[in-house]
Structure 1
């Protein structure tokens, strides 16, 4: 178990989502099928929304494995899918009630009971299910999953025979639960603001978010729904039954509106009410849900593959099983083995994925644990992406949020593994969270929280020159054993910093999130990370591990470090990363050994299973306490050798409810568990299983005690009067009747042991060639300065005679070619040239070469590109931060999210300025404080800032936000003779719902010499009586940035297919960067052009233009300060001094727009306007 095991007395139920739905295909081009792993899935809102909003949903194949540890969540999801598939639109209201309301009508209850009975009838076995109509699109990954969710369907169906007294009892249970949980909500529940995106302030006004939450908890239904007695007569059993029984444990923050994009009702969109109340919000999300499920209903009935594969169990265990690791159990409290179903070729389940969504499980198991199991499953492709999400407490310091979670320099960590946060590489993102990032939101809660969303990609995947045949080809990176040891040791100290007393005391003054006392990393977590690193590096692994474990043995800052050391050694041995201490074949114990336990074994393995039966009565002391008193304490197993005083603690434990029987003797003994499905609701004993060193067990068997105890924390100390100071739940002698030492893990009766063969498909791409005809390229070598990786090197062994002669005669030189490659020239006249790829962006400015003319090799040493967004050297350059790469014959956008423009709401323009007062603040938040300072100073040295500023300028004036005037056409303009070089026709300003931003739906027209004769009439009209064109002046470097951005802007909204002879295939993307050259191909010209007012007016342009989507490009909060200047401006806006010059003398004038900022003169106000307008009226 690679995370803490808790007693789940106080576990909340999350039947509906608490964040707005995601587009699960936002990283995939339309030609690529979706193979998705969705762990910690919660409700299926993102699946439904993706089917609705994905522009290629009608032709893209979907294969979705979704997992949750709560069986009731999966049971509800499958119930919903089948209800939608089995019914027509007339039942949508009832389906809505069943899924979102915890009180509903008799008719809704009857439909639930009917559907549940149908599912129970179809699921007596997995074979029966696979023969049912549902198997066309629902195929459980394990038989255990089907069995688990079937129990819940049976409970729902059983309410059909409830008496009035039973219904009354359920109503009372829910009412009592609501009363208890409502006390935890407080009076200011503003979580709904986050789902409103850029319009979060509209939710805050009139307290809409809190008002709706209170309405939902008071009535059990979404606002706008009937609340008469008949409509809420019955309790919805799908909100009552969970894995812990039938107590009402709905999370107190639950509100259905959180799962929807509320900007769609709050923004000035045609058809929206002028004033929005909570009833309007309720009706809106119900309509949205209806749209989603109707498209879903159509999609699952089509002939294009659409398969969802539910799974119930622990997410980390599932990932390990998918990676082929044997002996994985369902969860910490369920010892059934994971037996993934072998399916026919037509329904083959993927075991590697191009998209991995991890919800917020990183909050519960740790980011490093998520990466440890996720990276091995991420397909090697430039489009593959792994998403992590966390709710964090703001420290107010730039970079802390990512550094605090990884524990080491993020660039070093990423270079080592070859996978990195996408925004760290591109230094920008299209996604934002206005509610989290706006300083003025700080006052809403005493604890400032924010969502940290990170998309992880292969670090070189955005560089066409670094790909081989358009694919990522990962080679383990070479690294010296010593710096690797130091890096891993720092990771070790970070993962267990909670055991460092000095750090713990220093942080006592910080307010913590609920449940933050749960220690997420255990020694198995670190062992799993070591296994990942071992697979990703080439080094003297044994030497590095020997040094690392020497450091760990000698480390004393972690209070319990050596108590958990045997746990770490055992897990490292099991995962084949290291054999140390008792587990080493050459280890000689300093203590006497008494091998009486294994005297009759044929041989003694290094690790054995310790199995202990714990009577259920041992837990009664805790079960008698209230859930609030018990909380969620962590469990651990202790092996106490009383004779020598040794105490070894194991946090990697497996538990099961049931009776234990042992058959056979000595090393042939086999334990069998009759597992009790009732779990905590039953009365069966608990079976504890750990794996421990046999040599440890041999030390003094008759004085060794096995104990199950709570891990001591500040929270569990309150339980010491009940359990004693050592918090022991149960203890037994190692040699007693209740403890068994076994070679193999216990089996579950009636469950066949899983096959030992690995299911992992080879997660590599076999390239046609990874070397040129002149050279053989070695894997990159990572070079450290202290504890930070600063350089990389690649050695080229020259193979051709021509290359060897050139090297001898003229040596070698090199220059940076692209973000991740160097060009190496051999000979005085550059007779031969080679492109050298690196696995991470580089800075080739100060390249060093080691040339061995006699031996015939060249070593290229370059600096790793800086993560500082202000740098102008190396990496993805400021002019090329939105690359498009070619993979499998199709262009792929690398770091801009794909959008379906026709499914995004369009603003109804023009509007009064008051209706658009959120646009300017949103545009401002695209800039970091550094970038705002550059703008205030009129410094145009940063090309990317200039590009962002142009986008924000066009966005603002296309919406009419500054003055109410809407501009329909823009010209990218170069002064000094060239004039306009690209026309941008605005079709609409749309809400990018998933990104919480806005996007321009435009048609672009590069003005090349060949096309000018056709365009001149259009330009004449624009410059004539219309005068509806606005110039956006750009310098030469920004022109290049626009030329690189436009192809990506076209590709991200493309609905058409490229021609077989597309110029991209021959010339690459962009086609050209010249001012009068077109960067885009002609394949999309005149296709899918909307019948917008702009294009109707300039219809002569329709055959010439290409549709595109242009978004704001946001700064990355964990790379540089974002919002601190805005916060300071807001704090000082009402202070009695001039905002421009700082003087406090004389009469000060107040800004007429925001009524806050003061100036001493009109000159100061005018001079400060460029900076102030970005925060004015926030």
Structure 2
């Protein structure tokens, strides 16, 4: 659930504005994957995933794609069907033109219209579609979705009708483009597109901005005059949406979804994705790079679609869709906030015997967290994340820079980041490890670029982040997967949740806003942040419902304390007004029902006389009020320009005669007509809404429904006022107060107004209250939730039917998690005797999450699996010898506490089915572009990129060590040392100061010398992660291997291409964790039943010199002629394993990145401003550009250029206005 807003201004995103993601890079290659894409957008990530998986015959992919806009799904299905029918190869430029151009030539338009007719013919009904040739791999989740998509296809087909129809379509299309340009608040270049160039983003600044400008000028991705002239037909796929109020986003740019580093990096002649770049300007190479990648994706997709791809589509609200993903027939959720159609999923696929997935291995949420709030998103998405340690939930968001990194990330989850994630039962992988494979060059470039061009003047800096959230890592060798059910003290939990509540509704804390305005430089950000309303009280009730299933406490006691704290709060200006909405949804979602908060309605009816709902035989504590707001009242919104209007939050309010006010922001709104069945005085009184598809362009009223407490509705039924209005915020109040007055009410009447107010048991078109998946326990006593987690014996006890049990208890302050206590009752007689006899109880850290406990000399060990990383040194043991129990109390620590642990950089765990690579992405090295390192002058960017591995603190330590001298280092930091070794490998292979080296040994002089040897074959662009990787092989020198390769070792010592990298004991341990990860992430082979990881149940297999580090399953499984020029290679190749070595970057919301002065210096040399007509820069014309005197946006080098551009520019040129 989310707060309600006016949707007159909504953007249409037909093309993605971030580079394509490798959606399955967290999943082992032989595991079939169910993927859920929330806010799926265009096809880029799906096609890129198919490209990266094209040689993997073991993995089938099932994609469920959800987007609020049916036009997005219509476009994607169109492209998928056209690709699937192209048996002889890609149809020239047709696919590209239809999917990426504003304007089409005759041939492309004809192809589009022809395909639209074919799709319409197949989509007469949902069943007919599923029986068609397309239905084999393209499925719709419900009838409403296919109906909405059909409406879009019909618009496309009708766009090429008679002359009048064509003229109407053209006028509307050009009006949309003009409006989009007018809404573009920036006057500089397109910064977003720079991200697409990854590690070469600095080099891409000028060209990507020019491509964006040219695209909006010509509507195509070519500057060839003949092709521009031929492309005259407006592309209906860019203008036809489900509603007339959606505007194409002004940042739309065909190239932003691709990996543009290939346009700037020197690639070998045989490299994948190498664009043709002979004799064309750099802007042309950028476009050619995108097209080359697109057609490579298409070719791979054509192969994959025949055997291992399935797609399911849903058009509607992402969170409502998540809540309906269970096998019930009627969930009573609407498709979205602005429509009254219920979600009824296809019973064949989603019924009791359906085969469509309802839990997922990968859930990608795009950037929805920025729009709906991360808390709302996690409440909906976490329950449908499969209970597997490799299952991953991706959350992409723009974090606002605060004073500290801790404050920055805490704002995301409305509380202490670590603690709230812990309550959700997921671990933010990058946060805990402070390791990211995602290159940070992009963030440095965009941040520096924005600063230089002053594009964010008056606004807070943003930090773009993509987080991977996973379940706690474990092993299934000793137990089945389970959720840790945590015991929490009710008072402690109530304090913490009260703070979360206040943070969710901080926009109502006007005192805090004023303090922020006084203290912060960023006034615009403070005003915008205080006007950003994402949650309603139903959101908080859903959070509590989710937590109730995960936490064991005296729930009734906790809820009473929490409600008391919320009721007594004085910081939220409108907090008391929304209390009744909170009580309503606590009841609706089965969280808590207390007759003190929702009393018997019959006790409050006017003068004791039954009226309204009290005339019903069965009077529920909650009813639905539907208010008909006349169309004539909506002019307050429609009369404003979209730029002035924005998206103001709205609410409904009930005001009684004695001045009691209750507000409600969990609204459903739709335009249409209403019909009823039954009498208002009968229990079966129902409402049905028939929607008007014209929406804001029509004449029908807006029908607003909300749930309210029955007792308040009946107390002064005929006189209580009900109103629909705008929520007061620092931005909405100045906009509407003159037209609406201080209360900002758009429309008001009494509950007794039978023409405009309707009271029913359930919302229109629904048959009950919303239901939730996997959250079916009703309100009950705390004792009904009793359960325990397992404490695993590492050595089973034969013949003993009892299992030892451990109970976890979390201790919390008002703000954060303090510690976790694991309580173990000793049930074995011999262990009880050892305890009473005073035997020594010891703990030993097995891994970052696991603690072993032993009692005396007994061979049995208890393994405690904590749900967050812990340190043995910060654990204490409590022993009750007479009562026969022990407790391990682990302090909750911050990520920096684990910086010196070798096992917290690369985490990999053995599993019976597939080993889990927890925080390093899988890749398909063969399909990544190969960098031509021989072109040394063109590889200098790599020095800057690899240097970004070092955080600000690590760079400071390196400086201090250099000052102290090599023999007297001040710091001996594990991660800095490891990154230095990686830096040595990358630099000496790619941009060496002398001879290029390609063989590197990991040498520990004090522990046997050489432990492993890396052979580097090539340097590749890791497109998915905006970085690079070394593609090569590793030879681990076990005792057995060394016996057989002594001549090779002797020859190697004389090889000029070889260099030893000396490491200390701790760094060697880290390398022994890294090597299995490097091999696992790029493997194309299967682990054998005899795999050492499985037999020994640990990764790495051993730390000891000469012992196995990596399993032998991949030995010798290298591409032919993979490593060349190494003397006596045939002697060792059968022992070598392929690896992919990437830099490791700090996580910017955990640790401050190093200042990139060099980035700013490079960008300051790049002239990014150019004439809007001829594209000449100030460097080229030798003077500054002149602004358009009217709008102050467009810039020109001369009056002739301005005059030549006026025909286009006058459509969007408006006098400069200032937004307060």
Give TM-score scaled by structure 1 length: 0.90
- Asked if 1:309 corresponds to 2:303, the answer is no
2:207, 2:286 within 8 Å by CA — same for their partners in 1?
Answer: no
2:626, 2:757 within 8 Å by CA — same for their partners in 1?
Answer: yes
- Cα distance, 1:584–1:720 mapped onto 2, change above 3 Å: closer
Taking the aligned partners of 1:415 and 1:757, their CA distance within structure 2 comes to 25
Match of 2:881 in 1: 853
- Asked if 1:922 corresponds to 2:968, the answer is no
1:630, 1:719 within 8 Å by CA — same for their partners in 2?
Answer: no
Q: Match for 1:343 among 319, 343, 348? A: 348
Q: Match for 2:1064 among 1027, 1031, 1035? A: 1035
2:188, 2:453 within 8 Å by CA — same for their partners in 1?
Answer: no
Q: Deviations over 1:567-594 (max 9, x none)?
A: 1111121111123576445899899775
Match of 2:300 in 1: 295
Match of 1:603 in 2: 618
Pick which of 1008-1017 and 919-928 moved more: 1008-1017
Match of 2:267 in 1: 269
Match of 1:116 in 2: 116
- Asked if 1:615 corresponds to 2:630, the answer is yes
- Cα distance, 1:779–1:997 mapped onto 2, change above 3 Å: same
- Cα distance, 1:964–1:589 mapped onto 2, change above 3 Å: farther
1:972, 1:1031 within 8 Å by CA — same for their partners in 2?
Answer: yes
Displacement of 1:1059 after TM fit? 1.6
- Cα distance, 1:587–1:885 mapped onto 2, change above 3 Å: farther
Match of 1:654 in 2: 668
Match of 1:683 in 2: 699
Q: Secondary structure, in 3 states, of the residue corresponding to 2:198?
A: helix
Match of 1:1139 in 2: none
**1:608-757 counterparts in 2 under 5 A?**
608-641=623-656, 643-665=657-679, 666-716=682-732, 717-737=734-754, 738-747=756-765
1:847, 1:862 within 8 Å by CA — same for their partners in 2?
Answer: yes
**1:1050-1069 counterparts in 2 under 5 A?**
1050-1067=1079-1096, 1068-1069=1098-1099
Unaligned 5+ segments in structure 1 are 1135-1178
- Cα distance, 1:152–1:1104 mapped onto 2, change above 3 Å: same
Match of 1:891 in 2: 915
Q: Match for 2:1017 among 965, 987, 990? A: 987
Taking the aligned partners of 1:409 and 1:756, their CA distance within structure 2 comes to 30
Match of 1:1154 in 2: none
Taking the aligned partners of 1:730 and 1:916, their CA distance within structure 2 comes to 65
Displacement of 1:43 after TM fit? 0.6
- Cα distance, 1:255–1:348 mapped onto 2, change above 3 Å: same
Match of 1:333 in 2: 338
Match of 1:1112 in 2: 1143
Pick which of 602-611 and 498-507 moved more: 498-507
2:437, 2:1143 within 8 Å by CA — same for their partners in 1?
Answer: yes
2:1048, 2:1127 within 8 Å by CA — same for their partners in 1?
Answer: no
Displacement of 1:759 after TM fit? 6.5
- Cα distance, 1:510–1:897 mapped onto 2, change above 3 Å: same
Taking the aligned partners of 2:484 and 2:689, their CA distance within structure 1 comes to 44
- Cα distance, 1:848–1:972 mapped onto 2, change above 3 Å: closer
- Cα distance, 1:355–1:644 mapped onto 2, change above 3 Å: same
- Cα distance, 1:762–1:281 mapped onto 2, change above 3 Å: farther
Match of 1:473 in 2: 482
Q: Secondary structure, in 3 states, of the residue corresponding to 1:293?
A: helix
Displacement of 1:162 after TM fit? 3.5
- Asked if 1:536 corresponds to 2:550, the answer is yes
Q: Deviations over 1:833-865 (max 9, x none)?
A: 221222222122243333333332222222234
**1:41-80 counterparts in 2 under 5 A?**
41-54=40-53, 57-80=56-79
Taking the aligned partners of 1:795 and 1:469, their CA distance within structure 2 comes to 19
Q: Secondary structure, in 3 states, of the residue corresponding to 2:340?
A: strand
Pick which of 497-506 and 986-995 moved more: 497-506
**1:223-242 counterparts in 2 under 5 A?**
223=222, 228-242=227-241
Taking the aligned partners of 1:520 and 1:864, their CA distance within structure 2 comes to 30
Displacement of 1:715 after TM fit? 2.7
1:870, 1:942 within 8 Å by CA — same for their partners in 2?
Answer: no
Displacement of 1:406 after TM fit? 2.0
Match of 1:1079 in 2: 1109
1:1095, 1:1102 within 8 Å by CA — same for their partners in 2?
Answer: no
**1:372-383 counterparts in 2 under 5 A?**
372-383=379-390
1:194, 1:435 within 8 Å by CA — same for their partners in 2?
Answer: yes
Taking the aligned partners of 2:334 and 2:113, their CA distance within structure 1 comes to 32
Taking the aligned partners of 2:946 and 2:140, their CA distance within structure 1 comes to 45
- Cα distance, 1:994–1:120 mapped onto 2, change above 3 Å: same
- Cα distance, 1:350–1:574 mapped onto 2, change above 3 Å: same
Taking the aligned partners of 1:446 and 1:187, their CA distance within structure 2 comes to 7
2:852, 2:862 within 8 Å by CA — same for their partners in 1?
Answer: yes
Match of 1:1138 in 2: none
Give TM-score scaled by structure 2 length: 0.87
- Asked if 1:20 corresponds to 2:32, the answer is no
Match of 1:446 in 2: 455
Displacement of 1:531 after TM fit? 1.4
Q: Secondary structure, in 3 states, of the residue corresponding to 1:144?
A: helix
1:777, 1:794 within 8 Å by CA — same for their partners in 2?
Answer: no
- Cα distance, 1:1095–1:657 mapped onto 2, change above 3 Å: farther
Taking the aligned partners of 2:689 and 2:130, their CA distance within structure 1 comes to 28
Taking the aligned partners of 2:859 and 2:1065, their CA distance within structure 1 comes to 33
Displacement of 1:821 after TM fit? 2.1
- Cα distance, 1:561–1:626 mapped onto 2, change above 3 Å: same
Match of 1:776 in 2: 804
Displacement of 1:48 after TM fit? 0.7
Q: Deviations over 1:849-907 (max 9, x none)?
A: 333333322222222343225654xxxx3345312212342222111010110111111
Match of 1:1156 in 2: none
Pick which of 919-928 and 273-282 moved more: 273-282
1:811, 1:851 within 8 Å by CA — same for their partners in 2?
Answer: no
Taking the aligned partners of 1:1000 and 1:85, their CA distance within structure 2 comes to 35
- Asked if 1:1015 corresponds to 2:1045, the answer is yes
Match of 2:1203 in 1: none
1:55, 1:900 within 8 Å by CA — same for their partners in 2?
Answer: no
Match of 1:86 in 2: 85
- Asked if 1:318 corresponds to 2:293, the answer is no
2:434, 2:1151 within 8 Å by CA — same for their partners in 1?
Answer: no
Q: Secondary structure, in 3 states, of the residue corresponding to 2:247?
A: coil
- Asked if 1:814 corresponds to 2:813, the answer is no
Displacement of 1:26 after TM fit? 0.6
- Cα distance, 1:1074–1:1057 mapped onto 2, change above 3 Å: same
Kindly tell me the number of residue pairs found equivalent between the two proteins. 1109
Match of 1:190 in 2: 191
Taking the aligned partners of 2:775 and 2:817, their CA distance within structure 1 comes to 32
Q: Secondary structure, in 3 states, of the residue corresponding to 1:610?
A: strand
Taking the aligned partners of 1:556 and 1:758, their CA distance within structure 2 comes to 33
2:605, 2:716 within 8 Å by CA — same for their partners in 1?
Answer: no
Taking the aligned partners of 1:778 and 1:586, their CA distance within structure 2 comes to 43
Displacement of 1:1069 after TM fit? 1.6
Q: Match for 1:258 among 227, 236, 256? A: 256
Taking the aligned partners of 1:656 and 1:1129, their CA distance within structure 2 comes to 50
Match of 2:287 in 1: 282
- Cα distance, 1:65–1:825 mapped onto 2, change above 3 Å: same
- Asked if 1:843 corresponds to 2:874, the answer is no
Taking the aligned partners of 1:8 and 1:755, their CA distance within structure 2 comes to 25
Match of 2:1121 in 1: 1091
Displacement of 1:908 after TM fit? 0.8
CA RMSD of aligned residues (A): 2.9
- Cα distance, 1:1131–1:1054 mapped onto 2, change above 3 Å: closer
Taking the aligned partners of 2:830 and 2:903, their CA distance within structure 1 comes to 36
Taking the aligned partners of 2:1111 and 2:319, their CA distance within structure 1 comes to 44
1:542, 1:578 within 8 Å by CA — same for their partners in 2?
Answer: yes
Q: Deviations over 1:444-500 (max 9, x none)?
A: 443233311111112x31x54xx5657531132111011111110111111111111
- Cα distance, 1:1063–1:878 mapped onto 2, change above 3 Å: closer
Displacement of 1:545 after TM fit? 1.0
Taking the aligned partners of 2:1158 and 2:492, their CA distance within structure 1 comes to 42
Taking the aligned partners of 1:469 and 1:342, their CA distance within structure 2 comes to 38
Q: Secondary structure, in 3 states, of the residue corresponding to 2:243?
A: coil
